[in-house]
A and B are shown apart, each in its own frame.
Chain A
């Protein structure tokens, strides 16, 4: 019943999505990874930055300038969000695969888990934040979480929590999915 309108909306939605962030982030990281191949230096951290930036771009794709206009359409906001996320997440994962294959990072750093964890957390925050700054706040989550992970010193709960997107991505995705299910009518 609801798949058909979404299928019809896929192409116009894909055209309406701003692809500049995803393309720009991918190009910048790819350029840096190609430069890194000449220097034989560790690039795990570059991939960590890439996962945060790609997650940020994925959440940012929820920004719909026509949201108010489409509010009256018989397709729920959450379904429209899922359509946008599907359209952006698939290319983002392809980009991630390309970046991982180009880099000579350690096997643990090439897993897409951290990317999915940061994106899921950002989407959950975007859904639960009031409409106006929601997407912007959600898109800031991957950046802020990454920055906290880089800066919180020592060991302890705060330090562990700052690294959960890397160390326990499945748990983060699960919690974010529960939050999304709980907020499916928002």
Chain B
């Protein structure tokens, strides 16, 4: 007499699949949110944001630009936390395990959603802080404002960047050991913080962290600034510019930049999922979004 093991059914009821994914997501998000690196770096970002206070002798627009870069430690931490989670997927699991790789992947992705909520909370705090300060300073006299606030597109950027941070960390964590992923994540996020390197018009749309305002030629260094239109925000000739520039914050540029970031996130996300329809779909959607985002940014660039 012999016992014959019954093979597991290939298809499972949808309700049971949902329950499995929900359980996995809960467990993953609990582990991600308990990671001290996340909260240490979030604290660092908030502290950096709080220490930005506009002063009369600052570089024109320095406080406005610095506020955008304060999110970098948070984004680095989000990447690291996602990498740690997806790195566990590198442990070999039996091919006929009751939870498939796709379900585990979806569970990790859903579990990472609270990280976006942390980034959204940070963005809300950023908006509140700017209003609490009475606005930031942009431009130099005679074209200057002391009440500049981030546009909605700029405030959305930390959340979309957090999505990119999750997908980047997940991709590197899924495909490399942590000791290999760590230096790459570090160099990636700290290099994007050097926003002034990506300020040229040709590179702005391709940047990861887009810091506005954009400078547009207004006049030669000998031009009389009082003859420029009164509503223009201006920047005087200085160490890095030999001309009068018009300082422009473009809401359209911010929104299309978010589309470019969504495209990049989808492309990185494709690396995390097993080969198949989901990966092909993500590659196609990511490519389309990235191309549309970049082209549209060049289109609306002031």
Query: Do A and B truly interact?
Result: yes
Chain A residues near B (Cβ < 8 Å) = 18, 20-21, 24-25, 28-29, 32, 35-36, 38-41, 43, 45-46, 49-50, 52-54, 56-57, 59-60, 63, 65, 135-136, 139-140, 143, 147, 151
Query: Is B199 within 8 A of A39, CB to CB?
Result: yes
Query: Is A46 within 8 A of B182, CB to CB?
Result: no
**Per a CB cutoff under 8 Å, which of B191, B196, B198, B240 touches A28?**
B191
Query: Which residues on the B side are within 8 Å of A24 (C-beta)?
Result: 183-184, 187
B237 sits at the interface (CB 8 A) = no
A-B residue pairs in contact (CB < 8 Å), sample of 7? A18-B176, A39-B197, A46-B197, A56-B183, A60-B183, A136-B182, A151-B48
Q: Per DSSP, are chain B's interface residues mostly helix, strand or loop, or mixed? A: helix
Query: Is A49 within 8 A of B187, CB to CB?
Result: yes
**Per a CB cutoff under 8 Å, which of A29, A39, A43 touches B200?**
A39
**Per a CB cutoff under 8 Å, which of A20, A43, A49, A151 touches B190?**
A49
A63–B178 Cα gap in the complex (Å)? 10
A143–B182 Cα gap in the complex (Å)? 9
Query: Is A140 within 8 A of B182, CB to CB?
Result: yes
**Per a CB cutoff under 8 Å, which of A18, A52, A57 touches B177?**
A18
> Taking CB as reference atom, which chain B residue is nearest A25?
B187
A100–B254 Cα gap in the complex (Å)? 34
> Taking CB as reference atom, which chain A residue is nearest B188?
A28
A60-B179, A63-B177, A140-B182 known; A36 and B187 CB under 8 Å? no
Query: Is B186 within 8 A of A143, CB to CB?
Result: yes
Query: Is B197 within 8 A of A35, CB to CB?
Result: yes
**Per a CB cutoff under 8 Å, which of A28, A40, A59, A136 touches B178?**
A136
Query: Which residues on the A side are within 8 Å of B186 (C-beta)?
Result: 49, 52-53, 56, 143
A135–B200 Cα gap in the complex (Å)? 40
Query: Which residues on the B side are within 8 Å of A65 (C-beta)?
Result: 177
**Per a CB cutoff under 8 Å, which of B176, B181, B191, B198 touches A29?**
B191
User: Which residues of chain B from 169 to 211 have any CB-CB distance to chain A below 8 Å in the complex?
Assistant: 176-184, 186-188, 190-191, 194, 196-200, 203
B218 sits at the interface (CB 8 A) = no
A65–B183 Cα gap in the complex (Å)? 18
Query: Is B191 within 8 A of A36, CB to CB?
Result: no
**Per a CB cutoff under 8 Å, which of A29, A38, A56 touches B182?**
A56
Query: Is A41 within 8 A of B197, CB to CB?
Result: yes
Chain B residues near A (Cβ < 8 Å) = 44, 48, 73, 176-184, 186-188, 190-191, 194, 196-200, 203, 240
A52–B196 Cα gap in the complex (Å)? 21
Query: Is B187 within 8 A of A28, CB to CB?
Result: yes
With A49-B186, A53-B186 already in contact, 11 other A-B pairs whose C-beta atoms are closer than 8 Å: A18-B180, A24-B187, A25-B184, A28-B191, A29-B187, A32-B194, A35-B198, A46-B194, A50-B187, A135-B179, A136-B179
A136–B182 Cα gap in the complex (Å)? 9
Query: Which residues on the A side are within 8 Å of B187 (C-beta)?
Result: 24-25, 28-29, 49-50, 53
Query: Which residues on the A side are within 8 Å of B197 (C-beta)?
Result: 32, 35-36, 39, 41, 43, 46
A57–B196 Cα gap in the complex (Å)? 26
A46-B191, A53-B187 known; A139 and B179 CB under 8 Å? yes
A65–B90 Cα gap in the complex (Å)? 13
A39–B194 Cα gap in the complex (Å)? 12
Query: Which residues on the A side are within 8 Å of B190 (C-beta)?
Result: 49, 53
**Per a CB cutoff under 8 Å, which of A25, A35, A147 touches B183?**
A25
Query: Which residues on the A side are within 8 Å of B200 (C-beta)?
Result: 35, 38-39
A59–B188 Cα gap in the complex (Å)? 18
Query: Is B183 within 8 A of A57, CB to CB?
Result: yes
> Taking CB as reference atom, which chain B residue is nearest A38?
B200
> Taking CB as reference atom, which chain B residue is nearest A126?
B179
Q: Shortest CB–CB separation between residue B269 and chain A, in angstroms?
A: 19
> Taking CB as reference atom, which chain B residue is nearest A54?
B183
> Taking CB as reference atom, which chain A residue is nearest B207?
A35
**Per a CB cutoff under 8 Å, which of B44, B176, B182, B240 touches A41?**
B240
A32–B200 Cα gap in the complex (Å)? 13
Query: Is A139 within 8 A of B183, CB to CB?
Result: yes
Query: Which residues on the A side are within 8 Å of B178 (C-beta)?
Result: 136
> Taking CB as reference atom, which chain B residue is nearest A23?
B184
Query: Which residues on the A side are within 8 Å of B196 (C-beta)?
Result: 39, 41
Query: Which residues on the B side are within 8 Å of A53 (C-beta)?
Result: 183-184, 186-187, 190
